[in-house]
Structure 1
């Protein structure tokens, strides 16, 4: 593996400044009108510390996916503020949000979202290509080496296993050194062994590369890889679990009726 000096954020959560990577203040979001209106987020305020791996959990309809989509600038809240890396993203117009998502946010989704006609390397570099820039060669080599993809760079998605495709998606998310990587059920399409490998890589990205990761999941085992679990129900925050285990998450979800 190529070695080089990592950027300053590389020594685990304890070495990070107190300033959060992303914060939500009094966030509210609803769908529908009058009697048919559904409250997805109900005055939510929450903070995510830089360099930490956080899982968001709750019953179906609890608002966890809506919260993540708002935090990532994929959806807009009805009221409240979201500050990401010191930028109030709720004050940005569409084009500014597009640039912010491309340059400062990484995404890892359940469906991988790889372009089938591109090689693994081209998929990894796609956000930079769209921005008209190129990857830092040493950082690219480090990310690819860490994720075990060096011998798969010329392969197209259909030539890769599900786990390898998700690793490509993780590499793509990390390549721009984003403020936050968001994961929406990132292991939902993987078997338990491959899913465990991907979760271990996300955790390693947090611990060793200083990456902030926010993941929505319904899986207590997946959540146990995180530093903290944020619990939601009926559009609001109802608690959190530091240093979660699969067992403690199961107990907490049971109390929520999940």
Structure 2
């Protein structure tokens, strides 16, 4: 495989240098990340891919401050998050990081509107109503804001999750298999929305996925295997992603 080398970004939403992460000891020791250094440009949509156990979820969790590294440095925006306390990380995630999960993670007793603004309420701040209206309009949720999750389709629930992630204008949105629980048509809709949020709103998206078709919506695909980087693809297509994964032994 001869993946394209991306030019160094002029500005990074997230940067990582020499990340090392190990789980277990002795015979059970697993090197989840092996000296990983990577940058994610502002306004770019990046997919992280690799075989099961390659370290892609570990990389996402450490970049988002959900897990720690043994050594190395992670910078989100202009803040170094490695070494932060739990309280500092919680505050940073509320203010500067958005999350989109495969399982939506909506509160079932709250309306769509209440779910969208929940992170801001937890942080003790009020939403920018003009920005909220713009996001809701882009995502086509205007007539669903009073509905509770059980009254929404899977695609509508994921759109609520996307709106919630974008509302705080975070430095970066992490998407963990965001279409894994959706049918192909609804998944394509959500992926198109993520791509639009990057291209039209300048949002930085970092997505973990196992699906070559989902990865093809990204600007760049980063390949991991056995805890180490194994190149990247620019302007990916499902076929080029499949070809690259086949070189990593992924069927």
User: Taking structure 1 as the reference length, what is the TM-score of the superposition?
Assistant: 0.93
Which structure 1 residue ranges, 4+ long, deviate > 6 Å from structure 2? none
Q: Equivalent residue for 1:124? A: 116
Structure 2: 5+ residue runs without aligned partners? 1-8
Question: Counterparts of 2:151 and 2:17 in 1: how far apart (Å)?
Answer: 44
Taking the TM superposition and a 5 Å limit, the aligned residue runs for 1:1-258 are 18-258=10-250
Aligned-partner SS, 1:173: helix
Pairwise CA distance, 1:91: 2.5
Aligned-partner SS, 1:215: strand
Pairwise CA distance, 1:41: 0.3
User: Taking structure 2 as the reference length, what is the TM-score of the superposition?
Assistant: 0.96
Structure 1: 5+ residue runs without aligned partners? 1-16
Aligned-partner SS, 1:91: coil
Pairwise CA distance, 1:119: 0.2
Aligned-partner SS, 2:143: helix
Pairwise CA distance, 1:159: 0.3
Question: Counterparts of 2:12 and 2:142 in 1: how far apart (Å)?
Answer: 33
Question: Counterparts of 2:28 and 2:57 in 1: how far apart (Å)?
Answer: 20
Pairwise CA distance, 1:135: 0.5
Question: Counterparts of 1:123 and 1:199 in 2: how far apart (Å)?
Answer: 21
